[in-house]
Amino acid sequence: MVTLKQQLYAWRTVIFALFLRELQSKFNDKFGLSWAFLEPFVFILALSFFRGLLNEGDIHGISLFHFMMIGLVGLQSYTTGIQSVSMSIRKNKPLYAFRQVQPMSAIVTSGFLEVAIKVVVIALLALALYLVGDGISVDNYLLLIVLFSLLWIQCISVGLMFGIAAAFVPEVDKIKSMMMRPLLFISCIFFSLQDIPEEYWPYLTWNPIVHFVELARYACFPKYGSQGVDLAYTVETTAGCLFLALCLYHITWKKVLAR
Amino acid sequence: MIRIENMTKSYPSKLGPQYIFRDLNFDFPTENNVAILGKNGTGKSTLFRLLAKSEYPDRGRIVTNKAMSWPVALQTGIHPQMTGRENTRFIGRINNVRSLARYEEKVQEFAEVGKRFDLPVKNYSSGMRAKLVFACCMNIDFDIYLIDEATSVGDPIFRKKARASLKEKSEQAGVIMVSHELDQIREFCTSAVVIDEGKLTYYADLEEGISVYTQESK
């Protein structure tokens, strides 16, 4: 009989091996691993900077630059996370010949890699802000960490569901990228929920990213306020997504192998 | 011994599920080197992958207490962008070898790749890749080695070496092999399992199995 400890040890070995393999194969060009950090860093920094140039001033007590940056970090984490987690099922297909490697190992590995990359990106952004003397003093670190963890659990769950669906119906990938595109405009990245008339809030607040982004701004700048958004909603959607994704995985993973 | 219990395996298709095996019960012998024989499309590779647990049956199960290798085919688990050494280390890691450094050394020597061990696998010839995969497998101690025909390519000298090491292994371990080439099978195996229309039959004598198989083929 295999004990739980051995089981966990085996999982750890496989995930560690996959993680190294991912690192070695993903960043094989001249830029190497640094590209993974540089690209989102430059994207977020440039977009927030130019938005800040367009009109000076602040939004409900946050400078536009910071406002944009928090929003973009949230959205970028979510979309690139879903993208690479859902792709990982198919990308590691040849490896399922080893019975130690299961689709879940691929999911966990790519999720972990994405989190690690985003943590470094955030550190870089914080460092850049500090160096130009425009640093953010975060008011509520605990809330920020909770939000970041929830966001990742949710995003890996959604990625897992998309990945399984795409294993059966490849067209899902096209629909997925179509669904991702409007997220930039409806997730309160360029504007605050508080600037929208209250009767239109229900059209935006179904989207958990809105809650994540607005709460993250609130966690950094308490005077920004948290009208219309709710931490409970992020917890509920995350739990729901995780539950659904694990159920779906449990009933389909053996069939996914044969695809 | 590998026991197959009430196994059903099908693949979905436009014409409805295609059943490869239906409620199959069979005791797969592993004492000596076994060849799996059968026409194209009878489910040789499927059986092979099921035994390796690379795939799972729809119903029923396969029970064994032996340590099985992965199904060793031409490309399994080899990433073309990574070097031979990195690929070897990956395979070593997921199979939990005791000392990665020693494993690496042994594979490098067995596969006869020399300095090119540190080049990306995409620069290898197909023969070299096959050698690498084969070497990776042979240097881990399994109870049963699952070898696909593709792996036994390579020059005569390498084949001789492969046969010698398989012989040596067969003292404690068994080999299950899928191939169409009867020469190769005669080289490596001593008994046969013939698949026909979802039924398995074991022939303790390889020649008897081959004659049944070649007559079926007519």
pLDDT value for B216: 64
The answer to whether the CB of A213 falls within 8 A of the CB of A189 is yes
Which structural domain range is residue B134 located in? 77-141
Report CB contact under 8 Å: A10, B75.
no
pLDDT value for A111: 94
B91 and B195 inside one domain = no
Helix, strand, or coil here: B145?
A: strand
B18 and B100 inside one domain = no
**Window 7-46 of A, Cβ < 8 Å to B:** 10, 13-14, 16-18, 20-21, 24-25, 28
B113 and B175 inside one domain = no
pLDDT value for B26: 87
Rounded to a whole number of angstroms, the distance from the CA of A97 to the nearest CA of chain B is 5
The answer to whether the CB of B72 falls within 8 A of the CB of B134 is yes
10-residue averages of pLDDT along chain B (218 residues):
87 85 86 83 84 88 86 76 87 87 89 86 84 86 81 73 79 82 80 85 86 73
pLDDT value for A215: 93
Report pLDDT digits (tens) over B43-77.
Answer: 888 888 888 888 888 888 888 888 888 888 766 77
Helix, strand, or coil here: B6?
A: strand
pLDDT value for A166: 93
Neighbours of B104 (CB within 10 A): 18
- Residues paired with residue B27 on neighbouring β-strands, in sequence order: B3
Q: Which amino acid is at A89?
A: I
pLDDT value for B75: 67
Q: What burial letters (b/e) apply to A152-182, b meaning 16+ CB within 10 Å? A: bbbbbbbbbbbbbbbbeeeebbeebeeeeee
B93 and B164 inside one domain = no
**Whole-angstrom distance, CA of residue A26 vs CA of residue B81:** 9
Low-confidence ranges of chain A (pLDDT < 50): none
CATH number at residue B167: 3.40.50.300
pLDDT value for A142: 94
- pTM for the full predicted model: 0.87
The answer to whether the CB of A223 falls within 8 A of the CB of A61 is yes
Best of A6, A8, A24 to substitute, by most chain B Cβ atoms within 10 angstroms, is A24
- Residues paired with residue B145 on neighbouring β-strands, in sequence order: B175
Residue with tokens 């004990």: A3
pLDDT value for A22: 85
pLDDT value for B153: 63
B160 and B181 inside one domain = yes
The residue out of B110, B125, B141 marking a domain boundary is B141
pLDDT value for B150: 57
The number of distinct structural domains making up chain B is: 2
Q: Please report the ipTM that was assigned to this predicted complex.
A: 0.82
B118 and B51 inside one domain = no
Q: What burial letters (b/e) apply to A32-69, b meaning 16+ CB within 10 Å? A: eeeebbeebbeebbebbeebbeeeeeebbebbbbbbbb
Helices of type H across B38-181: 44-51, 84-94, 100-111, 126-138, 156-169
pLDDT value for A237: 95
